Amino acid sequence: MAGKPSIVFAHGLWADGSCFNKLIPTLQAEGHEVFASQHGLDSLESDVACVNFTLNHVPGPIVLVGHSYGGTLITKAGTHDRVGALVYIAALAPDEDETSQEHQDKFPRTPIFEHVDVADGRVWLKPSGVPHFCGDLPEAEQKLVLATGAVPVADLFNQQVPGTAWRTKPSWYIVANNDHTVHPDLERSAAERMGANIRPVDSSHVPMLSHPDFVLDVIREAAESLNA
């Protein structure tokens, strides 16, 4: 594995590390050390800590990949000195003075938020919301996404910790043109603000599941930049 960057994934809401299962085996077979942070969505601070624990465990340089709210996590944890590049997948990327919610509130509300329940202090995705999250997946895969998703604490998007890695690290951004969860306009704006390498794809909110080959190519591009 000498010379191959490590790959670390950070998942978002209503997901866990298994949402990257169409990417991980291929990257491992290509010689990368790969880990997915498993965080509980209990607080931004604890989720960032989980990503940092994972970064501490693998050798650098690291390509740090975040999906959705995972973009907030890689923005914060990506200041780690082993991280060489960032890949955002349909992700939030708040600035230093923004919370995830403030970042999201600058753009139109997406349909998925009409399909959530708050119970036991957690935000649950209703079955009726799944098509707005991953509607381009086969029905069986949509059901699996719903069954395996971690459920966030209700105020998660209003929490803040320091760190804005995209200001100092090279970034790639996969814009999901058909996203009904994170607004595509937010994605394009975030990518332009950070000066990212922008890679659009006609996908729902989960390109890593609906277009895994496309996402793999972007991750490979980021990894190759660290070997250049």
CA 153 to chain centre: 17
Predicted confidence (pLDDT) per residue in 140-174, tens digit: 999 999 999 999 999 999 999 999 999 999 999 99
> How much is the pTM?
0.97
In the predicted model, what is the mean pLDDT of residues 84-89? Answer: 98
In percent, the amount of the chain with pLDDT more than 90 equals 98
**pLDDT > 90? residue 3:** no
In percent, the amount of the chain with pLDDT more than 70 equals 99
Whose tokens are 């907030």? That residue is: 72
**pLDDT > 80? residue 228:** no
Burial of 34 (0-12, 13-18, 19+ CB in 10 A): buried
pLDDT at 1: 42
**pLDDT > 90? residue 25:** yes
Mean pLDDT, the chain, rounded, equals 96
pLDDT at 2: 52
Predicted confidence (pLDDT) per residue in 115-125, tens digit: 999 999 999 99
Residue 129: pLDDT band with limits 50, 70, 90 = very high
Contact 191, 88 (CB under 8 A): yes
**pLDDT > 60? residue 225:** yes
Class of the CATH domain delimited by 6-227: alpha beta
Residue 129, SS3? helix
Burial of 31 (0-12, 13-18, 19+ CB in 10 A): exposed
